[in-house]
């Protein structure tokens, strides 16, 4: 048996190659299955229900935000609003942004909305809106008279 059968040798090599390819394919299919299974079984997002603050806590937080602004603008006149311009608009915008971050209890929603809308009027008045400039001072006095807790 000095001479091996060449046909048999080629078939043996092909069988070894086929088994190698089959094992690699099976491994890749298994890894793909595991990665798909892990992504499909992700945890559902957790919903955290946060309770609204008490009205007293809301009023305290709101007062800390808006009182400095209202203390400054209570002293203004229509000419002062015109002179304040962009600085006044920027201050009103910053105050409004901070106010919008608060969580609001259901009983204080009207007050919160009125404060946000009034700050928007102050923003427009500072940017040069003549109609807003003429009535923003009276609207501010009305709001502060309605919600006395703001300036306490």
* pLDDT score of 36 more than 80: no
Q: Is residue 40 part of a domain?
A: no
Q: Is residue 127 part of a domain?
A: yes
Alpha helices for 1-152 (secondary structure H): 6-40, 55-73, 78-100, 109-126, 130-146
Percent of the chain with pLDDT over 90: 41
Q: Is residue 47 part of a domain?
A: no
Rounded to whole angstroms, how far apart are CA atoms 124 and 71? 19
Q: Tell me, what's the pLDDT at 1?
A: 47
* pLDDT score of 2 more than 60: no
Q: Tell me, what's the pLDDT at 97?
A: 95
Q: Is residue 103 part of a domain?
A: yes
- Residue 32 pLDDT grade (very low, low, confident, very high; cuts 50, 70, 90): confident
Q: Is residue 76 part of a domain?
A: yes
Q: Tell me, what's the pLDDT at 40?
A: 55
Rounded to whole angstroms, how far apart are CA atoms 116 and 101? 11
Over range 48-72, report the average pLDDT.
89
Q: Is residue 18 part of a domain?
A: no
Contacts from 62-65 at CB under 8 Å and sequence distance 24+?
62/99, 62/102, 62/108, 62/111, 62/112, 62/115, 62/150, 63/149, 63/150, 63/151, 63/152, 65/95, 65/98, 65/99, 65/102
Summarize pLDDT for 10-27 with one digit per residue, the tens: 777 878 888 888 888 988
* pLDDT score of 83 more than 90: no
Angle between helices 78-100 and 130-146 (to 10 degrees): 60
Summarize pLDDT for 99-138 with one digit per residue, the tens: 999 999 989 999 999 999 999 999 988 888 788 787 898 8
Range of 92's domain? 55-150
Q: Is residue 122 part of a domain?
A: yes
* pLDDT score of 73 more than 50: yes
Q: pTM to 2 decimals?
A: 0.65
Q: Tell me, what's the pLDDT at 38?
A: 64
Per the structure, the count of domains in the chain is 1
Q: Is residue 35 part of a domain?
A: no
CA distances from residue 88 to 16, 28, 139 in whole angstroms, order as listed: 82, 65, 16
């Amino acid at each position: 048996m000095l001479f091996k059968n060449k046909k048999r040798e080629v078939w043996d090599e092909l069988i070894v190659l086929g088994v190698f390819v089959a094992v690699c394919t099976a491994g890749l299919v298994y890894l793909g299955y595991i990665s798909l299974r892990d992504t499909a079984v992700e945890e559902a997002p957790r919903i955290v229900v946060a309770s609204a603050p008490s009205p007293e806590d809301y009023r305290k937080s709101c007062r800390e935000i808006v009182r400095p602004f209202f203390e400054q603008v209570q002293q203004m006149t229509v000419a002062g609003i015109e002179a304040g311009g962009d600085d006044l608009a920027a201050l009103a915008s910053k105050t409004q942004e901070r106010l919008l971050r608060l969580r609001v209890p259901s009983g204080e929603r009207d007050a919160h909305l009125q404060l946000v809308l009034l700050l928007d009027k102050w923003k427009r008045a500072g940017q040069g809106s003549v109609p807003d400039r003429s009535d923003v001072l009276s609207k501010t006095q009305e709001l502060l008279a309605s919600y006395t807790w703001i300036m306490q």
